């Protein structure tokens, strides 16, 4: 993902790559030496909060494409970004199609409040469920009241969560198999019918328009922005 972003930035005449840092590099030192307008982070969940804190503490704009930052940590980072006069975007998904899927799902949930989410990723993805699935459930719960739990709570016959993890009343199921990049479907059930809203990513280049939009539009903003939709569809 990092290599794809570098290639995308270098193709844009209005953008300049100030530097790059790997897991063993000193991020604070790199920011100090290169003075970037924006730092893009696509690392691992274990490093996300620390990297975001470093970026914001350096009074630099940050675009975070890494999941693993808790709501409490988001609040802390947002307050620090506002204090320092910089912007911080935390985006569970940079694909514009995925953001549209979330918006359409929230609209459908107004009329079909029985909802489940199934997300599919390659078997090297380290966390589950995906940040996009969690963000989709959060977005639906935020936009729609009265999401319904299943009529009957199933009795688990094996250890684990065969009915999925829950975000509010919405079950989320994670599939990890070779052959997938990233896919998600939001399934709605009603009397005598079902509705599926699905998005499939087959190449990491699908994320680049959202990354580039974020890099161009975050400077000049202050505080925390959560989700690419906060820059695509500002209220």
- Enumerate the active-site residues: 121, 125
Burial of 184 (0-12, 13-18, 19+ CB in 10 A): buried
d(CA 183, CA 93) in angstroms, rounded, equals 11
Cα 64 vs. chain centroid, distance in angstroms?
9
Q: Which two tokens stand for residue 197?
A: 């809203």
Beginning with the edge strand found earlier in the chain, give each strand of the sheet holding 115-121 in spatial order.
Answer: 165-167, 170-176, 115-121, 182-190, 193-201
Strands 182-190 and 115-121: antiparallel
d(CA 134, CA 140) in angstroms, rounded, equals 10
CB 49 within 8 A of CB 68: yes
d(CA 120, CA 139) in angstroms, rounded, equals 19
């Amino acid at each position: 993902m990092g290599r794809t972003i570098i290639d995308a930035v270098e193709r844009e005449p209005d953008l300049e790559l100030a530097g790059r840092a790997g897991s063993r590099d000193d991020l604070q030192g790199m920011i100090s030496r290169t003075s970037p307008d924006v730092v893009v982070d696509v690392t691992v969940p274990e490093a996300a909060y620390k990297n975001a804190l470093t970026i914001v503490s350096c009074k630099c704009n940050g675009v975070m494409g890494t999941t693993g930052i808790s709501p409490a940590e988001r609040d802390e980072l947002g307050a620090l970004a506002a204090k320092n006069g910089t912007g911080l975007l935390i985006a569970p998904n940079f694909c514009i199609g995925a953001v549209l899927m979330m918006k359409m799902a929230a609209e459908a949930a107004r009329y079909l409040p029985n909802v489940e989410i199934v997300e599919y990723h390659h078997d090297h993805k380290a966390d589950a469920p995906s940040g996009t699935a969690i963000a989709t459930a959060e977005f639906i719960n935020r936009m729609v009241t009265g999401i319904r739990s299943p009529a009957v709570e199933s009795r688990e016959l094996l250890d684990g969560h065969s009915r999925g993890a829950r975000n509010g009343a919405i079950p989320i199921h994670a599939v990890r198999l070779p052959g997938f990049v990233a896919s998600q479907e939001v399934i709605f059930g009603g009397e005598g019918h079902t509705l599926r809203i699905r998005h499939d990513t087959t190449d990491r280049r699908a994320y680049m328009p959202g990354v580039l939009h974020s890099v161009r539009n975050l400077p000049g903003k202050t505080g925390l922005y959560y989700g690419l939709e906060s820059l695509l569809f500002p209220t």
